[in-house]
Amino acid sequence: MTKAILVRKKKKVGRYPAPGILRNHFVAETSAGIDTCSRINSLLPSDEVPYLLLHGDAETELRKLPEGLVHCAITSPPYWRQRTYESGSGLGAENDRRDYISRLVRIFRELRRVLRKDGSFWLNIGDTYYKKQLCGIPWQAVIALQADGWILRNAIIWDKVKGNPDNSKDKLRNMYEFIFHLVMSEEYYYNADEIRNPPGQPSYKNGKVVTPTGVSGGKYKRQIVESKDLSSLEKANALKALTEALRKVTDGRMPDFRMIIRGCQRSTHSDSPEFSGRATELIKRGFCILPYHANGTKPGDVWRIIPEDEWRKDQHYAVFPKEICQIPIKATSPKGGLVLDPFAGTGTTLVAAIELGRRGIGIDTSAEYLGVARHRAEHALQIFSETQSQRTLF
């Protein structure tokens, strides 16, 4: 029987995630049927529900959710032919990988209906060796999703740092998985400032400013003076621009910069004016200054994160860490927004969402996993509430 676990407060004391709002709530289980669907639809848009857990098949339960509801979805579905899950849903046990990929496409087509038009979908999926062959499942899956209408924005490498033991004698140890960022529209919600790395501070050496990445200007100045590709006027303008850039670093108006000089550095991705505005600037002026963003740099597409250990013992064998969820949630959902995981497992995505002041929906076929997820979510709610209360006091 499909059950919905609805978590809400006993009394209204404010709006989630305001201080104190997450105290005194209870869990109510409703039976399957029209009553479940109607209650889900009526409760989900409300800030009164910090999280909701649905027990059932992902594709089936997604059909019960309203269209255009969720700001972002983050999930890691069962990998193909990797292990047998307690729930016995069958996903990942297909004899043919094409059947597995086709089923993922159907599930995520339903997920796309539930996403807002400006929403994002983050998919963590690993590969499989089958009869000695590395199957290429992640890219086959994402290419099938593109063919089904998704737009791929990033292919992130999750570097697991330590990886898993590997006793094979004829191949390298596997150390990474993919995380794909997919959207439905060319315009979508993305808050880059929420995920920027804080800018470093300049230092001083022999009385001269040095940027956080080690730029002092000496090398650039020498290249400009000795250049045979710049005219006298271009050299003068380049030296003036370099001096101004260093002054901005000293004054705190610019955290860092790079300089491209004709004949010394290549344009970042193309030397053709057809594809690069910087190439055009090099042709026109002989140089260009590339300032770093005042709020810091964006994260790259290689994430070095050690896999989760705390919740693996005797409960779940494929838990991804909360750190995997933090950048997606911060960048692609607003505060108080709704985050979905259709393969919730023990609730890592929901916990990360709650900790970051969002609400969450989790779906899983395993009642045991959802029990762990509920325990973790309750703990996260308590800590979040206490933290918000402390912030109002101090």
Q: What is the pLDDT of residues 20-35, one digit of tens each?
A: 222 222 233 333 344 5
Q: In the prediction, which pLDDT does 276 show?
A: 56
What band does 203 get if pLDDT is binned at 50, 70 and 90?
very high
Q: In the prediction, which pLDDT does 1 show?
A: 45
- In this predicted structure, the answer to whether residue 15 has a pLDDT above a threshold of 80 is no
315 or 104, which is more confident? 104
Q: In the prediction, which pLDDT does 54 show?
A: 92
- In this predicted structure, the answer to whether residue 167 has a pLDDT above a threshold of 60 is yes
Q: Which amino acid is at 105?
A: V
With contact defined as beta carbons under 8 Å apart, do 155 and 178 qualify? yes
Block residue for tokens 């838990």? 319
Q: In the prediction, which pLDDT does 39 show?
A: 58
Q: What is the pLDDT of residues 261-303, one digit of tens each?
A: 998 876 655 555 555 567 888 889 999 999 999 999 999 999 9
Candidate from 14-23, 36-45, 170-179 with smallest mean pLDDT? 14-23
Q: What is the pLDDT of residues 221-237, one digit of tens each?
A: 999 999 999 999 999 99
Q: What is the pLDDT of residues 295-337, one digit of tens each?
A: 999 999 999 999 865 544 444 445 689 999 999 999 999 999 9
Q: In the prediction, which pLDDT does 301 show?
A: 97
Nearest in space to 294 (alpha carbons), one of 230, 249, 339, 349: 249
Which residues touch 313 (CB under 8 Å, ≥6 apart)? none
- DSSP, collapsed to helix, strand or coil, labels residue 237 as helix
With contact defined as beta carbons under 8 Å apart, do 365 and 88 qualify? yes
Domain segments of the chain: what residues? Answer: 3-195+299-393, 203-291
Using CA atoms, how far apart are residues 188 and 172, in angstroms rounded to an integer?
39
Q: Could you tell me the fold of the domain covering 3-195+299-393?
A: Rossmann fold (3.40.50)
Q: Which amino acid is at 290?
A: L
